[in-house]
Amino acid sequence: LFTYRDDLGDLHCLTWEECVNRCNEIWRPRGVPKISGHCFRIGGTTHYLCRGVPPDIVKALGCWKSDAFLVYWRD
């Protein structure tokens, strides 16, 4: 989904792990607690559910096989 150029100008795919690590590098000096990739999944689920997206659509978007994602429904 995302790419970046290295110092030589070569394109690389941005992995999930690299994205989370980079976010933590930026946020740590600003006092933001360390996050995991799972935090984004919780946040995305909450975002859609709280905006009225039907749970079956959120389930499909998140590739959930069960209704376990409903545990993340936070206000």
Tell me the domain boundaries of the chain.
Answer: 1-35, 37-75
The pTM is what?
Answer: 0.60
pLDDT in tens, 33-55: 999 888 888 888 888 999 999 99
Report the pLDDT averaged over residues 12-24. 91
Confidence of residue 32 (pLDDT cuts 50, 70, 90): very high
DSSP structural state of residue 13: E
* Residue % of the chain over a pLDDT of 70: 96
Please tell me the predicted confidence (pLDDT) of residue 62: 84
Please tell me the predicted confidence (pLDDT) of residue 74: 64
Query: How many Å separate Cα 71 from the centre of its chain?
Result: 16
b/e per residue 14-49 (b: at least 16 CB within 10 A): eeeeeebeebeeeeeeeeeeeeeeeeeebeebbebb
